[in-house]
Amino acid sequence: MAIGMAACFLILQYVRFERSYDRFHENADRIYRVILERDQDLSAANHPGVGPALKADFPEVEEYARMAHQSIHLGDNVAVSYEDEQGNIKMFNEDRVYNVDPSFLTLFSFPFVYGDTENALSDASLIVISESISRKFFGSENPMGKTLHLLGRFPFTVNGVFQDVPENSHIQFDILIASWAYRNEGDYNKEGSWKWPEFYTYVKLDPLADPQQLEAKFPEFMQKYLGERMKEMNNEERLHLQGISIPGQQTQ
């Protein structure tokens, strides 16, 4: 009986943890990931142009935020370095580095230790880091205003430190950068690009919006922006809304 009760307790703890995913966000019930279906294959990633176009075309979409892993620009691991006033250099390879829209920090509710979510990524020269990254490079010092380099040649000013992302978040990251433009030239840098489906896109809907009614408008939306390309490539792409607070829907 004791073994059975212990097993039940562990199962209940596991179920409770799984059901807690992403529930800590203030507007969790209004946040949706926009996923892409192409020839019946589903992808969590999407075209860069999807977020801006959704906000422009649908009043139901209150805000959007995109994120893209650095692997599409600089490789899976990014060398991040800091040089102190004595010329000593610390360098680590980091793999949880993402580009995001500044709205990412206000759309989601990741608590900050230093800085504020409204201004932390207000321009392309800024970077925000987790508490763990801060300790790794700066120890117990306040890192605000200090400079981190990516690949030794791209300088960014630390303008925020957030609490380490909890395990019950489907998004896991340590470093966030707002800049898109310093990477490769070309379509990656064009907000309206519909050629590179490698950006995760999230939207926050108006409190009165019906996600099913909004999703019903997506076929016409896709024809507007991708109709000619789908015809040319002989494929079909569809968009779906995936609620982050719905159990079982959060896995990337």
- List pLDDT tens digits, range 153-195: 889 999 999 999 999 999 999 999 987 644 444 445 556 788 8
pTM (two decimals): 0.86
Give pLDDT, residue 55.
97
Hey, which of 40-49, 63-72, 123-132, 189-198 has the most confident mean pLDDT?
123-132
Mean pLDDT of all residues in 233-238 = 91
d(CA 28, CA 97): 23
Most confident of 30-34, 189-193, 242-246: 30-34
In the block, tokens 């306040």 appear at 142
- pLDDT at position 251: 44
pLDDT on residue 14: 37
Dihedral angle of Cα 47, 52, 58, 60, to the nearest 10 degrees: 100
Which of 125, 149, 126 has the alpha carbon at shortest distance from 137?
A: 149
* Predicted confidence (pLDDT) per residue in 5-28, tens digit: 444 433 334 334 444 458 889 999
pLDDT, tens only, 183-233: 444 445 556 788 878 899 999 999 999 999 999 999 999 999 999 988 998
Mean of pLDDT values over 92-102: 94
Mean pLDDT, the chain, integer: 86
Q: How confident is the model at residue 117 (pLDDT cuts 50, 70, 90)?
A: very high
Mean pLDDT of 36-41: 88
What percent of the chain clears pLDDT 70, i.e. is strictly above it? 82
Q: Determine the Cα–Cα distance for residues 140 and 142; give it in Å rounded to an integer.
A: 7
What does the domain layout of the chain look like in residue ranges? Answer: 1-69+186-252, 74-182
State mean pLDDT over 41-59.
94
Report, as an integer, the average pLDDT of 89-100.
94
Predicted local confidence at residue 178, as pLDDT: 87
